[in-house]
Amino acid sequence: MRVGLFVTCLIDLMRPEIGFSVIKLIERAGFAVVVPPAQTCCGQPAYNSGDRSLARDLAEKTLREFEQFDYVVVPSGSCGGMIGVHYGDLFSDDPELMSRYGRLRPKVFELTDFLVNVAKIELAPLGFEGTVTYHDSCSGLRELGVKAQPRALLAQAGVPVTEMKGCEHCCGFGGTFAVKYGNISTAIVDEKCANIQASGADAVVLGDLGCMLNIEGRLRRTGHTKTRVLHIAQVLAGDA
């Protein structure tokens, strides 16, 4: 079966190595992976900023590029939530688009949800050194129900998780929120970083690169260089 990989803008532009880890995991589970070369943004920044026209154009483009696949996998809760939840709002006035989206929507999965509930992947212990704590990204948790899946995969791979205080609390990124409300965003990420440090874990692992860059950037700017910040795909693929 063919999986269309929605890479996401941030992974494509800033951390392409995460994309290769994602491909490795999906192929390891026995699926063929296709990365449509013309894919761009899912439309979330425009949607969150109130530009419904641009968001709609990008949503239609994404629909055209991915509706052919058996599954669509997204290594990001925020982009996964946009495609899997909010496109219905953008297409609500067009019966033809809603019909096509209705066929696509059940095939859209966040990466760890796909690996656990569709691929039912079996991972061997990785020999990962150290302990990790896990940050639950807002969109993945609240829009897609991603909570147990990454922890189950880490346990299967023999990676011990030390839960931090407030693991479900926002990191302060929130896409355009961090730009519009910089002072509030900084206060939120400072609390998140303090909880990461207090957990005593060697690394914080998560499933959304926006959160990853926000947390890592704040840790480094405040002098914390020891704590690693890793996408779960990197850990599970043995690339961390």
Residue-wise pLDDT tens digits, 100-151: 999 999 999 999 999 999 999 999 998 898 999 999 999 999 999 999 999 9
Q: Would you state the pLDDT for residue 134? A: 98
Question: Which long-range contacts (C-beta less than 8 Å, at least 24 apart) are formed by 171-180?
Answer: 171/135, 171/137, 171/211, 171/214, 171/215, 172/214, 173/210, 173/211, 173/213, 173/214, 174/138, 175/44, 175/45, 175/48, 175/78, 175/210, 176/45, 176/48, 176/49, 177/48, 178/214
Residues 9 and 113 grouped into a single domain: yes
In a domain, 151, yes or no: yes
In a domain, 126, yes or no: no
pTM of the shown model: 0.95
Q: Would you state the pLDDT for residue 179? A: 86
Task: Tell me the residue ranges of DSSP E strands in 121-176.
Answer: 132-134
Q: Would you state the pLDDT for residue 165? A: 98
- Provide the domain count of the chain: 2
Q: Which two tokens stand for residue 193?
A: 């970083």
Residues 54 and 112 grouped into a single domain: yes
Rounded CA gap, 77 and 145, in Å? 9
Q: Print the domain residue range for 212.
A: 132-236
Residues 66 and 89 grouped into a single domain: yes
Residues 154 and 230 grouped into a single domain: yes
Q: Would you state the pLDDT for residue 17? A: 98
In a domain, 44, yes or no: yes
Average pLDDT, integer, range 221-233: 96
Rounded CA gap, 23 and 222, in Å? 34
pLDDT tens digits along 51-71: 999 999 999 999 999 999 999
Residues 48 and 84 grouped into a single domain: yes
CATH assignment at residue 105: 3.40.50
Rounded CA gap, 1 and 166, in Å? 38
pLDDT tens digits along 6-52: 999 999 999 999 999 999 999 999 999 999 999 999 999 999 999 99
User: What mean pLDDT, rounded, does the chain reach?
Assistant: 96
Residues 63 and 168 grouped into a single domain: no
Residues 15 and 103 grouped into a single domain: yes
Q: Would you state the pLDDT for residue 152? A: 98
